[in-house]
Amino acid sequence: DAGVTQSPTHLIKTRGQHVTLRCSPISGHKSVSWYQQVLGQGPQFIFQYYEKEERGRGNFPDRFSARQFPNYSSELNVNALLLGDSALYLCASSQTVGTANTGELFFGEGSRLTVL
């Protein structure tokens, strides 16, 4: 079975541009979360989506937005890119939300964004 897949793997943008990152969860997983990992630091939580609804949001500006589609795939959008947005963007999926879930998250390989 395929794991979490993300695209593109690498991309370069200039300041002020917009970027869309895509994620396909593991088959059967309905929850998708997004994380930003700046070089040398641990990942920081951006969003969680479950059943197409936002279930959690981290401390990121409104330039960051996301959505989840009926097939549970997800997009992360970042507007008005800043140099500081350069990072590895990770997507994670889990089976469900609720007490029946072990809460284990499975991560994709990430999208490396460089902002010049």
Residues that bind another protein (CB under 8 A): 4, 6, 31-33, 35, 40-45, 48, 50, 55-56, 58, 88, 90, 92, 94, 97-98, 101-110, 112
Nearer to another protein, 19 or 90 (CB): 90
- Least CB distance from residue 115 to another protein, whole Å? 17
How far is Cα 2 from Cα 42, in angstroms, rounded to an integer?
25
- Least CB distance from residue 14 to another protein, whole Å? 22
Which residues, other chains included, contact 28 with Cβ-Cβ below 8 Å and sequence gap of 6+?
A: 95
How far is Cα 49 from Cα 69, in angstroms, rounded to an integer?
10
How far is Cα 71 from Cα 105, in angstroms, rounded to an integer?
18
Nearer to another protein, 15 or 105 (CB): 105
Q: In Å, how far from its chain's centre is CA 20?
A: 10
Nearer to another protein, 24 or 48 (CB): 48
- Least CB distance from residue 35 to another protein, whole Å? 8
Nearer to another protein, 18 or 38 (CB): 38
How far is Cα 70 from Cα 35, in angstroms, rounded to an integer?
21
